[in-house]
Amino acid sequence: MNDMPDVETLSFEEAFRELEDLVERMETGNLPLEETIRLFERGSLLARHCQNLLDKAELKLQQLTASPDGEATVAPFDEGSR
């Protein structure tokens, strides 16, 4: 696992793909306990990184709207419009 890239340097797609691969490997049940623990720890880091990237993307999707008095305001992205 030491030859793995630092989680923080991965794009969302890279991190998510690696996370999927780790889950698949762990689901086989054919791994030694120590390897399973290492994979779980890496997976936890990957999941947290993916969530952070999604949170940042959501902030970028905030919409600028004009208030009745002409002032520009920031409105959160409307999740209902997905």
pLDDT in tens, 25-44: 999 989 999 999 999 999 99
Report, in angstroms and rounded to the nearest whole number, the Rg of the chain calculated over CA atoms. Answer: 19
Task: Kindly state whether residue 22 falls inside one of the protein's structural domains.
Answer: yes
Q: What is the pTM of this model?
A: 0.72
How many domains are there within the chain? 1
Specify the higher pLDDT residue, 47 or 69.
Answer: 47
Per the structure block, which two tokens stand in for 37? 């623990």
Q: Residue 21: give its domain's CATH number.
A: 1.10.287
For residue 77, pLDDT beyond 80: no
| 38: in domain | yes
Residue 2 lies in a domain: no
The tokens of 11 are what? 């794009």
pLDDT-derived band at 15 (thresholds 50, 70, 90) equals: very high
User: Does some domain include residue 18?
Assistant: yes
Q: Which domain holds residue 32?
A: 7-81
